[in-house]
Amino acid sequence: MSTENEGDAVPSAPSAPSTPPVPPSSSAPAEGAHGGTGPAAPEPPRTPPPHATAHTPEAMPHHTPPHAPAHAPEVMPHHTPPVPPGTGWPPPPPPPPAGWGASYPPAPEPPRKRSGGLIATALVAALVAGGVGGGVGYWAAERNDSSSSSTTVAAGESPAGFKREPGTVAAVANKALPSVVTIEAKSGGSGGGAEGEGGTGTGFVYDKEGHILTNNHVVASAAEGGTLSATFSNGKKYDAEVVGRAQGYDVAVLKLKNAPSGLAPLALGNSDKVAVGDSTIAIGAPFGLSNTVTTGIVSAKNRPVASGDGTGSGGNSYMSALQTDASINPGNSGGPLLDARGAVIGINSAIQSAGSGGLGPSQAGSIGLGFAIPVNQAKSVADQLIKTGQPVYPVIGATVNMAEESGGARIAAQGEDGTPAVVPGGPAAKAGLKAGDVITKFGDRTIDSGPTLISEIWTHRPGDKVTLTFERDGRSSTVDVTLGERKGDSD
């Protein structure tokens, strides 16, 4: 067998040690192998195998001995036996003298048994892995410690150009709020209220001339000698006066005194095009909390609603209302009901209540049933009030029972104060209607009561021709009726 260094001449080294050198190992050699003193007694020598392999044993990672000696003995890891004299082992080359370091490679390490190499490799790998694992764990801990304060994003880090998309509630509200006012009404001592009494409601800018659209019942207490004021979302307050009001429609128009320039009227939508499920946004001052925004949907259309005017005088209003589940409370009255574009589709006017409660002593809160006057009707009434100061109502010229629900609107036996229930020469009389007839349909709308009939009539205008279905003596008949008119509110 041969090795890479076999047959090489090794020059004598000056000042060679008196003790024969021993093969180097991972453990320090015993200095007293031939009578010298040493830290520990040598173990019995191991007999080298008769046929030592010439192959280089597996190396430890990142280290490969360049010249492995021939006939290397097998050794256990981390243990080097002493070498007795006369064993015939070829001595390793002596350490080079000073100045010879460039001519000789470093002394080779003794070969290790394969199993020892594997064990040592595994041990070093484990140590390396442990070190890596510890390092990763430390790194992760450091990252976790520092990340606890870095995951919070300051508002200042938001993009400078951040804008809310058109159609979002925030965008609609932001645009509409400057055109919504909180109305404070105080009684002048007449009109059904004590002097100084009043309440809070809402309105919105109707045109650039300073007209404010709201509910009649918001201003009714101050309409006769009282005082009115309108406060904008920026806190600026203006005195106002009543231009006209319609008790039956529950609509009123105010005019700001010394109206500021640059007023921005809210855009008016088309309430006839509203669909159930459309998004709604209500703005108002519920329980006096100005500039409150709530959202919901249109939960129903053409809902017949009758409500009082708030003065206790017994005057009622009727509407074929838009129903919404947006939160509406006392103080929201007169405020706009907007669609997702920000266009007004109705005027918030009434709520269905389960009982008293809320912030007021006897005021009920929202249960998700709010009602708004359709803006198409409100606009028609407002234009009439601005033009003439008084409302105009379409009529059929007949008195119907407002309390009875008999599957229709029954024409009463007689009118108020003993007058005929069917006005002679009026639209109903011309169509052949009589006292006791039950009106079951008005146009394409089914009629189930007197309030439903009035609400539906008031969605039309004087002069409109409408097909009317009624029952008499168990038989159903259909007639056409041309609506008449009545100016002003009846006492």
Q: Which residues are catalytic?
A: 217, 250, 333
Structure token digits, residue 315? 């005057």
Q: Cα–Cα distance between 172 and 168 in angstroms, integer? A: 6
Amino acid identity of residue 38, one-letter, is G
For every residue of 322-373, which 3-state class applies, written as one string? EEECCCCCCCCCCCEEECCCCCEEEEEEEECCCCCCCCCCCCCCCCCCEEEE
Q: What is the DSSP letter of 289?
A: -
Sequential DSSP letters for 10-79 = -PPPTT--SSPP----SSPPPTTTTS---SSPPPPPPPPPSS---SPPPPPTT---S-PPTTPPP--TT-
In sequence order, the 6+-apart residues with CB closer than 8 A to the CB of 365 are 329, 353, 357, 358
Spatial separation of the C-alpha atoms in residues 269 and 339, rounded to whole Å: 8
Name the DSSP letter for residue 158. S
Q: Which residues contact 144 (CB under 8 A, 6 or more apart)?
A: none
Whether residue 23 contacts residue 110, with contact meaning beta carbons closer than 8 Å, is answered with yes
